[in-house]
Structure 1
Amino acid sequence: MKSLLGVVIVLFLFSNVQAQEELKRLDLNLKNYEYPYPVSFIEINAQKETYTMAYMYVKAIKPNGKTIVLLHGKNFNGAYWQTTIDTLTKEGYDILVPDQIGFGKSSKPEYFQYSFQQLAENTKYLIENLHIEKTTILGHSMGGMLATRFALMYPEITEKLVLLNPIGLEDWKLKIPYHSVNDWYEQELKKDYKAIKEYQKESYYAGAWNEDYAEWAKLLAGWTLNEKYPLIAWNAALTYDMILTQPVVYEFKELEVPTLLIIGTRDRTALGKNLVSEEVKATMGLYDQLGEETAEKIPDAELVEIPDTGHLPHIEAFNQYITALLSYLKK
């Protein structure tokens, strides 16, 4: 029995070391990580400072005159939209994919008051700078909260709104104890590849996992090897606070634009699940219920559910996701 236990321990340690060895140390602004399309930069003047915002602007092969803006989630950047960009540009759409301030290849501020209004204003500035007059806004995860805020602030330039497994469909601060920015920061400092993978496996994919997901977990983990990781962790803590203190769930009824909800129903993503009892945890992030509830709140909404799919339908169930998206865009 002891020898068997020893073998198990050795195998566990070996697999953990192997996972760490596979990681690539990533630059603060991902200079050593290649995006699928050329990246441009624009200067954003906000809060008495100048920041650099990265973006990909990919023109259609045969333009149909329409543009779609893709907004990434909290634990991601514009690169994970590659297959979406590939398909939509072939269908005639110009595609704009920004990295929000604090994410991806964009600036990581030391001091910044994060708000969805500020991020929406930055995005609108980029859109106007590229002389785009109207656009469909598609947001995933945290990007869904930002997309909602953008559509509420700028309905005149938002032709359609698409929410792909957005977070913020429930008000988590009603269920979890208060966690300060410092608390979130300390939590972020403890992260490594194993912790990131386990979180994503439990919440994003609800128990499922395959190597298609590993790329995005390793992207986050690669930052933990950077000596400036505390700055990345601080920005992550600030955005946690933004998400929890600035809910959009109460304003869905105010949306004035046609909206498509694409929901992977196996998703169980919810911030702060580690801070509550198992009983409360079981009531959070139930996307098979939240999709229907949200569609009822939005005046002009259409819901497409993708069964047995987690938080990233555009990675996990691309064909079903893109079929639903294209069908809606062509209406």
Structure 2
Amino acid sequence: MPQRRSRWLPSLMLTAALPVIAYAEGPEYGPQLQGFEYPYTVKHFDFQSQGKTLQMGYMDVAANGKANGRSIVLLHGKNFCGATWDTSIKTLSDAGYRVIAPDQIGFCTSSKPDNYQYSFQQLATNTQQLLKALGIQKATLLGHSTGGMLATRYALLYPDQVEQLALVNPIGLEDWKALGVPYRTVDQWYERELKVTAKGIRDYERSTYYDGRWKPEFDRWVDMLAGLSKGPGKTQVAWNSALIYDMIFTQPVYYEFKDLKMPTLLLIGTSDTTAIGKDLAPPEVKAKIGHYPVLGKQVAKLIPQSTLVEFPGMGHAPQMEEPAKFHQALLAWLNKTDTLR
């Protein structure tokens, strides 16, 4: 399948004012992110789930150079896609890994079903079916943000199939509902998601993910999300997004970190303040949630074979913010745990 290609900006023949308006509006993408360019060829895995035929988009990138015979699966976050792993895919492929980067159902290049009962167990099962179809019996999991919750659930469901587990600023290091964050219904999430804009995404990520900082290269990922949210499948996208937010809020993995059986790495950017529903929380609750310098240390103590690596001053996505520092730490841990196996 050919690589996806971005839509070109309007002709430079337009007046000077029009390109500014076009940029402000940004691109629009199809319900499975048609029109957005991925760094590697996107394939689709067709499978049956909950009485539906669904497609899971994924990238399968072979080792570049000397292969080490191992596979690593990259699990994206809620406001991310497989494409946002671009530098990690290249780094890990160059290090000898076969790299699988799927888009989960409800996200990005994958199906957005009308009625789907979302659970981390279901998404883990979907991913396990994909890996089985690809002939992968064991793998290392690398999960970011919501993908960290999914990777944890996968490791709990299929412990014999997970060699190593690495979690990058995973959400779910605390149980927000138990801490007093008010519940937002699926309908309320849906109304909120229908109003998503590029500016809103950028402002949220700048303040919550990056401690007020921003890099121009992040704009591509803002356009990716905003273009999906306002494209021809915007109601499908918003509804699935609402269901996924409800899943994240109501299905904590926090209480089961103690049950993880494999070597686990926590990679924590300490300036992150992400907490689902924080905008609804009263001041006294808001003040005590989303403190990653504290959460990383607390959860590291819960996981039997854990290693904690902190990135002081970095935010929610250290693999995107400072790729070289992040990948140096990740590869050092992977190589160390490899020698101990």
TM-score (normalizing by structure 1): 0.93
CA distance in 2, matches of 1:309, 1:16: 32
User: Is residue 19–residue 193 contact of structure 1 (8 Å, CA) maintained in 2?
Assistant: no
- Give the equivalent residue in structure 2 for 1:250: 255
Query: Which residue pairs with 1:113 in the alignment?
Result: 117
Deviation at 1:97, TM superposition (A): 0.6
1:16·1:194 contact (CA, 8 Å) conserved in 2? no
Name the counterpart of 2:199: 194
Give the 3 Å change call, closer, same or farther, for CA 19–274 of structure 1 in structure 2.
farther
Matched, 1:150 2:173: no
Q: Aligned letter for 1:53?
A: M
Between the aligned partners of 1:305 and 1:36, the Cα distance in structure 2 is 28
Within a 5 Å distance, the mapping from 1:168-187 to structure 2 comes to 168-174=172-178, 175-187=180-192
Asked if 1:311 is matched to 2:289, the reply is: no
Asked if the contact 2:149/2:253 (under 8 Å) is kept, the reply is yes
- Matched-pair identity in %: 51
State how 1:132-147 maps to structure 2 within 5 Å: 132-147=136-151
| Alignment match, 2:71 | 67
Distance 2:150 2:299 in 1: 16
CA distance in 1, matches of 2:321, 2:177: 29
| Partner amino acid, structure 1, of 2:172 | G
User: What is the match of residue 227 of structure 1?
Assistant: 232
* Structure 1, 141-150 or 190-199: larger mean CA deviation: 190-199
Alpha-carbon distance in 2 for matches of 1:228, 1:90: 36
- Separation in 2, partners of 1:82, 1:226: 23
1:73-120 Cα deviation digits (max 9, x unpaired): 011110011111111111111000111001111101110000000000
Q: Compute the displacement of 1:206 (Å).
A: 2.0
1:18 deviates by 6.4
1:45-91 C-alpha deviation (Å, 9 max, x unpaired) = 11011101111000002211010000000111100111111111111
C-alpha contact 2:29 2:232 (8 A) present in aligned 1: no
Q: Is the Cα–Cα contact under 8 Å of residues 72 and 140 in structure 2 kept in the other structure?
A: yes
For 1:76 and 1:263, locate their aligned partners in 2 and report how far apart those are by CA, in whole Å.
Answer: 17
Correspondence for 1:87? 91
1:163 and 2:167 correspond:
yes
How many residues matched? 317
- After TM superposition, the runs of 4+ consecutive aligned structure 1 residues lying more than 3 A away are 14-19
Q: Report the Cα distance in structure 2 between the residues aligned to 1:18 and 1:118, rounded to whole angstroms.
A: 39
Q: Which residue of 2 aligns with 1:215?
A: 220
Root mean square deviation of aligned Cα: 1.5
**How far did 1:19 drift?**
4.9
| Residues 30 and 232, structure 2, Cα contact 8 Å, conserved in 1 | no
Please, which of 107, 122, 131 is the counterpart of residue 126 of structure 2? 122
Per the TM alignment, residue 211 of structure 1 is displaced from its structure 2 partner at its CA by 1.2
SS in 2 for 1:131: coil
- CA distance in 1: counterparts of 2:104 and 2:97, whole angstroms: 22
* C-alpha contact 2:31 2:232 (8 A) present in aligned 1: no
Q: Which residue of 1 aligns with 2:50?
A: 47
Structure 2: distance between partners of 1:298 and 1:16 = 50
* Deviation of the 1:279 alpha carbon: 3.1
Alignment deviations for residues 141-199 of structure 1 (CA, whole Å, 9 cap, x no partner): 00000000000000101000000000000101122112110011111111111111111
Q: Secondary structure at the match of 1:159?
A: strand
Provide the rounded CA distance (Å) in 2 between the counterparts of 1:186 and 1:270: 20
